[in-house]
Structure 1
C-alpha cells in the first residue's frame, strides 16, 4: 500500500547528525567482518536510492562521490554508531523528508522517559513517563528545553536528534538544560532505562520466535495509541485522528459520526501521516464532488491524486482542522486541501513540511540468523492543486494559535477551545484540555 508517513515529523538534518554522533558515548569496537557488513548495507541502501528516488538527478547530489565517502568512513569506523551514521548521512544528504536509513536491530533499547515537541519555534517537554528518572528529577510537561547534549532543539533538527539518540546510537542518558514556566534554567543529567535485547532477529532460536512476538507486542501497543478518539460538545463532534494508519472502517465510522453532527473539529495534531487511500477516503467523505488534491511527480510520470466525492453521503457541515508542528505528510495534505477548496479553516501551529511520498524497502543480510534493516526512499513529490510544493515549507494555519508554557503545564488546550468557540460552543482552554487528554 502506498504511504505518506514520516515518524515524528522529519525535517532537514544538515551537519547536525554528525555533530551529535561525534559527541555520543559509544565504547563498542568493530571487527573486520562487521565493517564488511556495514559496507554491504551501504551498497544495498545506495542501490535502492539509485533505483527508486523520484529525481534521477538525486536533488543535485553526487551520489557516487557521497557513497564513496561513506564507504571510506565505514572502512575506518570504530563503532556501530559511527558505521550507521555514515550510511544515515548519505540518505540525509538527499535533503528529502522521506528518504532515510532504518538501521538494524540494536543490542540495547533505551527508554528516556520523556519527550519534547516544537511549539512555534521553541521546544517544550510534551510527555514525562511515571517513575522515570526525568520525573524524579522534577521534569514536567511545559518545561522549555534549551539544550540537549549541548545542542539547541529546533524545528530543523528535533527529528534528527531523536533519530540519533533512539535509532543510530542510543545513549545511557542525556544532559539537558530546561526551564520551568516562570523559573530559571537548570541543568539535568537524565538517565535512560536501558534494556538488553538480541542483536539479530533469530527465527530458529529455542523459544518459538520470541523476538517476533516481542515485535508484535510493541507494534500492538503503538496501534492502541493510534486509535481514533471522539468527543461531543453539543452538536459539534471532535474527532482526534492520530494517524492515517487507521483502518478504512475507523475512517468510515468517523465520517458516520460527523454526518450526525452539525459541525466537525478534525484534530490532526501529532498525526505523522500514513496511507494515501485513507487520506483520499477522508477528503472524499467530506465533499459531495470529487476533487483533484494534487499531482504526484514520479521519476518517469506524473499521476493525479484524486479524492472521490461521497455524493449525498458526504459530511457537509462546518469544518475546522487542527494542526501542529508534528502534523506531517498526509495530515498536511488534508489540511492544505481544506484551505484550498474553501471547505473549512485550519487552526494551530505551522506543520512539519514533510509531504513527499516514501517507499519503505526492507533489506536483510543472512539466512537463518537474519539482520534486518531498510531504507525509506522518496519515490514521488506532491504538487498541491495550486501548484505549490509543501516539502520543507509546511501548512500555515488560517489562525496561528500557540499554547503557552503555562497552558502546556496545566494540560489546557487553547487551540481546541478556539475551534469549539468558533463553531458556536464557547469553551475555555481548561475544559477543552479535559475533552481528549494527551493532545
Structure 2
C-alpha cells in the first residue's frame, strides 16, 4: 500500500504530477548522458541512458547549481541552506552504515554559492557514492516542495512488477500520510490477483496494526508504517467492518498486474452519467468527453484518488463545460503571473456537473477542482483535496543518469488563491467510510444524486 503510493515517482516531465504514479523509463542508449554546456544540469529531452558513471561529487555539484539556477525560488535562495541539508543527509547516511569520518565537518559558509561549493567539495574529497545519493535526496527534501523530486531510473524488474497489491488507504494525502487523517485506517483498493487479494484482503478492511505497531498513535497516523510497508514482508492485523472479525495476515510481495489508467463510466438513476477519471494522463480529457456523447441529464465526475497529470488535459476537459474562463495562474518568482484558460476549441457539452474529490485528489486534479469551484461550473462533493500542487515540474538530467524534477513556477487558483498545502474545500462533505467500502455504498454518489 504505502510503498506503492509513496515511492511512485515521476521520471519525465513538467506535465506530470508529483504524486501520480509513472511508468519506469526504459533505457535509451548505452552511452553516458550528455553534459550541459556549462557543466551543470541539462533539461531532459529523452529517457536517461542505459549506463552512466556512478554518483560522484560532481553529480552533487550539478544538483546544487541546478536548484539555484532552475528552481522557482533558486535565484533568491540562501545557498547555505542547500549545502546544510545535503551535508546533514550525507553524514547521517555514513553513520547508519558505521562509516562516519572524524574529519567530516561542515566548513564555514559565506553565502557566496561558488566559494561555498568549493569549500564544501574540499571537505567531501572523493566522496562516498551512497552518501552522495543521500545528500542529493536530502538537499531536495530540504526545499519542502511536493513537486521537487530526485529520481534514479531503474530497469523494469525481471518477471514483471511485484508488490503486496494493497495500493490505496484512507490515510493517504496524495503520495504521503495525511496529518489530518482520523482513525480508523482502512484499505481502499486491492489489485486483483495480487498477494493481498489471494489473502482475502478487501477494500474496507481496517488496519489495526502493522508489524505489531498501532496504525494510529492517539489521533495521528503512525509514520513508522512507511518503513514497514517498504520492507516487502509485513504482518497486518485487520478488522472486517461487516463482521467485526479480527485476524492477522502475513503478507509478502509477489507478482502484481497493473492496468494502465482507464476512464470508466456507467449510468446512474435519472439518466445521470457517472465517469471515473483516475488521472489526467495524455488523452484523458477526450476519453471523458467521448463517454458523455449520449446526452445524459448530468455528469458525476469521480476524481477520488486522482493523483494528477497534465495541465493541458485539465484545460481541455474544462473547455467542455465552459469557455472564456481563467482556470489558474502560473507565477514566476518575479514578474506577472500567466493565466491558464479553458480550451475553447472543445465544444460545450451543456451538462450539469458534480465532481467527487478526496485527499487522494492531488496536483492537476486540484487544478481542475479549483477551476470548477472558482468559476461556478459545478458542485464539489467528498472531502478537501490533498493540497499537493506547488507547481508543474521540469526534468533535468544529471551526469549519473538521474533526473532532478523542479518547479519553475508557482500555481495559484482561478482567484489567485493558494491551494498548495491547503487543498480545495468541497461544497458538501461526504467521506467514504470503511463500512461503506465493505458494503458497496457510496455516500459521494448518493449526495451527488440528491444535489442533482
TM-score of the two chains, using structure 2 as the length reference: 0.68
Contact 1:77 1:83 in 2 (8 A): no
Question: Which of 78, 84, 91 is the equivalent residue of 1:72?
Answer: 91
1:89 equivalent in alignment to 2:138: yes
1:193 equivalent in alignment to 2:254: yes
Aligned twin of 1:117: 169
Contact 1:102 1:375 in 2 (8 A): yes
Contact 2:263 2:278 in 1 (8 A): yes
- In the superposition, relative to structure 1, how do residues 311 and 363 fare at CA in structure 2: closer, same or farther (>3 Å)? closer
Aligned twin of 2:335: 301
- In the superposition, relative to structure 1, how do residues 190 and 264 fare at CA in structure 2: closer, same or farther (>3 Å)? same
- Write the mapping of 1:16-55 to structure 2, written as runs, cut at 5 A: 37=55, 39-55=57-73
Question: Which of 266, 271, 275 is the equivalent residue of 1:231?
Answer: 266
- In the superposition, relative to structure 1, how do residues 107 and 346 fare at CA in structure 2: closer, same or farther (>3 Å)? closer
CA distance in 1, matches of 2:231, 2:373: 42
CA distance in 1, matches of 2:289, 2:441: 27
- Write the mapping of 1:358-397 to structure 2, written as runs, cut at 5 A: 358-361=392-395, 363=397, 365=399, 372-397=401-426
CA distance in 2, matches of 1:132, 1:54: 41
CA distance in 2, matches of 1:65, 1:35: 25
Aligned twin of 2:390: 356
1:261 equivalent in alignment to 2:279: no
CA distance in 2, matches of 1:179, 1:261: 40
Aligned twin of 2:360: 326
CA distance in 1, matches of 2:58, 2:392: 23
Contact 2:207 2:238 in 1 (8 A): yes
- In the superposition, relative to structure 1, how do residues 147 and 353 fare at CA in structure 2: closer, same or farther (>3 Å)? farther
Question: Which of 269, 278, 293 is the equivalent residue of 2:313?
Answer: 278
CA distance in 2, matches of 1:178, 1:97: 31
TM-score of the two chains, using structure 1 as the length reference: 0.70
Q: Deviations over 1:238-274 (max 9, x none)?
A: 2222111131xx5235335536233121111121111
CA distance in 2, matches of 1:343, 1:299: 30
CA drift at 1:329 = 0.8
Contact 1:3 1:275 in 2 (8 A): yes
SS of 1:389 mapped into structure 2: coil
CA distance in 1, matches of 2:61, 2:215: 33
Contact 2:234 2:250 in 1 (8 A): yes
CA distance in 2, matches of 1:125, 1:353: 22
1:173 equivalent in alignment to 2:192: no
CA distance in 1, matches of 2:237, 2:335: 49
CA distance in 2, matches of 1:81, 1:418: 51
- In the superposition, relative to structure 1, how do residues 347 and 135 fare at CA in structure 2: closer, same or farther (>3 Å)? same
Gaps of 5+ in 2: 1-12, 22-51, 99-128, 172-180
Contact 1:358 1:376 in 2 (8 A): no
Q: Deviations over 1:97-134 (max 9, x none)?
A: 11122234279664122233226534321233455443
Question: Which of 85, 94, 100 is the equivalent residue of 2:149?
Answer: 100
1:3 equivalent in alignment to 2:15: yes
Gaps of 5+ in 1: 10-33, 196-220, 367-371, 424-439
Contact 1:99 1:358 in 2 (8 A): no
Aligned twin of 2:46: none
Contact 2:53 2:399 in 1 (8 A): no
Higher share in helix? 1
Aligned-residue CA RMSD in angstroms? 3.8
- In the superposition, relative to structure 1, how do residues 146 and 68 fare at CA in structure 2: closer, same or farther (>3 Å)? same
